[in-house]
Amino acid sequence: AVTTRLSDGFGGHHAPCVAMASTLVLVGWQSGSGDYTIRMRRSTNGGTTWLTAQSIATSIECVDPGPLPSVAGYSDGSAFIAYRDQADEKIRCKKSTDAGASWSTISATPQTNLGSHMPSCGIYTTPSSTIQANLVHANREPAANCVYYNNYDFSTSAWGTATNLSSILPGQYSDFTDPSIGQSTNFRTLHIAWDAYDEGSENRVIVYREGGFRSFVSEYSVIQ
């Protein structure tokens, strides 16, 4: 195996994210401090060789720990990336339809603000054969501490209706952070987990919910 340095130049390079779809590999990360850049390198042959690094978003104002990019790719060449941006108090997202060669900014993500912490995303083909990006994020603002899921339709360039995944939890759980989304091999089942504080045990716990195409079962699990 060959070790490849993907970052170029000097300075801080942090928070890598990776997506793979067929032979396409996308690796994104943040560079800088306070005023960040999202960098991306891609391979079209499964990581054997890498194309030149791209700056796909620049001059991102964000408090520590930074934009925390999350990337997802699909086998038809569609790709999606999400990251925090303090300037407009939103999670910003970009999409690609040419295997990461070019990226376009999409409309602002609903139900986000400065409290949003670590977006996580995935992408799949829906039952109607359109490409859908899936995004989960936590809002850490004390007055509105929630975990939201939303979807972006590549064919209509529109967001769906945000779903508050934490709304079914009893009041003993709070301070939701660090959500993560995964997809089953059939791309139709979503698995979402996040970190929460349990006032009953005074411990941090992991909460899990499962969903399908734009809907979630009305159950949750707490993994101690």
Give the model confidence (pLDDT) of 140-175 as tens digits: 776 678 899 999 999 999 999 889 999 999 999 999
Q: What are phi and psi of 156, to 5 degrees?
A: -105, -10
Summarised one tens digit per residue, pLDDT across range 75-125 is: 888 999 999 887 666 788 999 999 999 999 998 787 776 567 788 999 887
Residue 207 CA to its chain's centroid (Å)? 18
Distances 20 to 36, 45, 54, 153, 156 between C-alpha atoms, Å:
24, 11, 17, 20, 24
**Residue type (1 letter), 175:** D
The C-alpha atoms of residue 99 and residue 22 are separated, in whole angstroms, by: 11
Mean pLDDT of 128-138: 87
Handedness of CA 45, 22, 70, 16 (dihedral sign): negative
pLDDT band at 206 (very low <50, low <70, confident <90, very high): very high
pLDDT of residue 63: 81
pLDDT band at 6 (very low <50, low <70, confident <90, very high): confident
Residue 199, Ramachandran bin (φ over 0: left; ψ between -120 and 50: alpha; else beta): alpha
For residues 39 and 32, the answer to whether their CB atoms sit within 8 Å is: no
pTM score, two decimals? 0.90
